[in-house]
Structure formats: C-alpha cells, structure tokens
Structure 1
Amino acid sequence: MGEIAALYATYPQLTLRRFAQLAEVAYHRLRDFLHREQQHKTQQQQEKARSKQVLHLVEQHPTFGYRKLYQQAVKAGLPVGQRWIRDFLKQQKLNPAPHRKRRKPRVETLPESKWPPGRRVQIDATMVQLPKEGKVWVYQVLDVKTRLCLATLAFPQLSSWNALQSLKAGIQELKKYVSVDQFLIQSDGGSDFTSAPFQAHCQELGSWVRCRTSQKGGMGLLERLNRTLKYEMVFRHDPQDLAELKALLQKFQLWYNTERLHAALGYQTPLQVAAEEGKILLSA
C-alpha cells in the first residue's frame, strides 16, 4: 500500500477515487492509509517540536531530573507528560546520575586485650520522651574505675558538637579528682562519636575504641547508668520540658555520686572511691 500511495503523489490531476479504480485497489483502504500517514507525519512533527523544547529546558536546568523538568514544562505550557519526559531523557541518555550517600567504613570492635592503655571513660546518649518537647537526648559520661557520673547533659538532638561538649565536661570533672594524662574513650559506633571533631579530641586525650554492650569491659556499665537515670529519676518525677529535665539531671548526678552504693566498689559511693584515690595520689 505504501508504494501505491507514493505513486498517487505523482498524479495530482487524478482524484483519489479515479486513481483507486486505475490501480485496482479498494478506495476506502487507500483513503484510510493516506489519512493514517498524514496523522503519523503530524505526530512526528509535534514530537520533534516537543523534543526541541524539552532539550532547551535541559540546557537551562542541567541538574534537574524528570520531575522538576516536568514542573518547568507545565509552567511553560508545553503539552508533555511526566512519563514522556522521563522516557525522552532516558532515550537521549540525559538522566543525571543519582546522588549516592557514601557510608563511612564501619569501625571494628576490639577485645579488651587489644585496647590501648589509658584511663577508661565511657560516653553514650540515651533518649528521653518529654510531654511538651518530644524526644530529647541525654549524654552521659562515666569513669569506669570509680563509677563517677562525670557529666549528664540534655540536648534537643544528637550531634557531634553535643557529644564533644559532654566529653569535655566529663574529662574536666574527672581531673578534679585524679591526675591522669592519657585516657581511653569508649563509645558505640554512632555518627556523633565517629565524627571528625570528636575523634580529633579523643586523639588529644589519648585514644578511642568502639565497644559493644555485650562484650567484656564494654558499654554495659554505662547502659546500667542510663537505666538508673530513667527508673530512679525520669519515670518517677516525670519532667515536662527540657528545663525541668536539666534541673533533674543535676540532682541525679549528685545523688548517683554521693548516695548510690555499688557492690563492685565494696558498697561504697563513687565519690568515696574517688576521694580515696585522690588521697593516695596526694600522699604519693
């Protein structure tokens, strides 16, 4: 049928019906074929026009994906759909590469026998739900040897800066009782503890290791401190906002260091053990 239609174009003086009689083809078949061919040519022209317009948008916004390009096309009044733009970009290989967030390499946990030397100080964050302000985070710092709660600070969110400030406050408090030059900071593998500022400060103090709660010498002591905070203070007094929680944390730290007895310390308080260690240092 295509050859007959091309032949008909060379005889413009003949009507379509007369040409169909001479070519011995059905008139309605030739008519419908020419009509479809005309529609196909019109669609191709419209497709080329749309392609040029979309390519112009791509040049104006080279970092846009098909969704944002569709928004720009709607603003410009272009008769194109979102799926058409997506298929066109894929056909022309113009899809921008998707952004892939690279994860930091996971830090391995070492057994206690391979830890570097230093005074062990643990830090961790625990979540507290407040009625008025929702979730807040409490950073706690613990001296392993004396069980002293060195710092307990509340913040609206987790961050490397909050973790760093809590660690600095804890080390400053510990230096009031003992004279130590090298520390071994223990924490989990949270992003606030593996951040560059926190790690740099740990290297200034001594070294840092990632620990699990279940391993020997790991974060079990600090997890016990977190449970004590919640069951002895937070759940009993039910603070409503961050200001009330901060005031309650000061009372908790004082109570934990001066009244809380520990079987591992010979049923002494952490402050009593720290005071004895300070006397030994002074006598030496």
Structure 2
Amino acid sequence: MPYWRLRDHQHSASTRCARQEHRDALYEKVRQAALQHPTSGYRLLYQEFKAQGEEIGLHKIRVALGELHLHPPLPRKTRKPSEKVSTPQDWPAGRRVQIDATRLSLPDGVCWIYFVLDVPSRVVLASRVVRSLSMHLAKLTLDEAVGVLRAQGHPRDSRGAERWRQ
C-alpha cells in the first residue's frame, strides 16, 4: 500500500470521527422525532424540524429513516364493495345464453373472438372472429346462436327471443 494513502488516512481520522459523530447525532434526532410521530413520513418530519429551527434536509431525513428502518407503514388501499350477484333463482324462466369477447394478440395486430355459450350446458353455440369490437357483430353472433338453439328444438321463452339478446 502506498505511504501517502496511510498518511492521508491517519491525518483524516479526526475528520472522519467528527463526521461519524455528527451523523450519529443526526440519526438520533431523526429517530426521536420518528418515534414521537410514528405515522409521519419524512416530509412531515422535515416540517417539524423546520418549525424547531433545525436545518436538516429532506434527503438526509429520508436516508436516516431508511438506515434506521423507521419508515411509516404505507396506507392501506380501500376496495369498493363488489356488486351484488343475483342467484339463479332470481333469473327469469327460459333458456339462457352468455356472450364472451376474448382478445388475441397476433404478429400483425389483434383480433377478438365472440363466443356465445349455452349457460346450462356450457356448449359453444356460435363464434365469430373480428378485428375490432362491434355491437353490430355481437348482435349477429347472438342471433346466430339463437338460430342454433331453435334448430335444436328449444322453444322461445315467454318473453320471446328478445330476452336472449339482452
């Protein structure tokens, strides 16, 4: 090891010790303030120090909180209550179909597939591949599925075929 490095290390020992003591004093101040205000983040602690007349920067407070592992817990996100799901007993009488649109990513873009399922048997009655979602194409797919059900001999329910399209 070069001599000048050892010499410089010995000459800077007092400066290093003073810097370490200053850092320890700063960390102790931040620790005491964080324990007095356990839910405050570094910005509120900065405002507290500023009100006391101490000049400690935001970055120094944030680093000290990280070193001391005293970050306040993150606020919990609240969830919206889920929608009420109707039970099958609440559904009107008659055959039910369900439409589903599934997105597929292709090398040249995206496409969508409409599937119309028979709810009781989960059989696919009709399907259609389209480039973009369209109410008109969804209605045509539903009409095709209703035609398949009629061809299988399922009669119209009391509300007519319009019930299937809703």
TM superposition score normalised by structure 1: 0.28
TM superposition score normalised by structure 2: 0.45
User: Quick check: which has more Rg, 1 or 2?
Assistant: 1
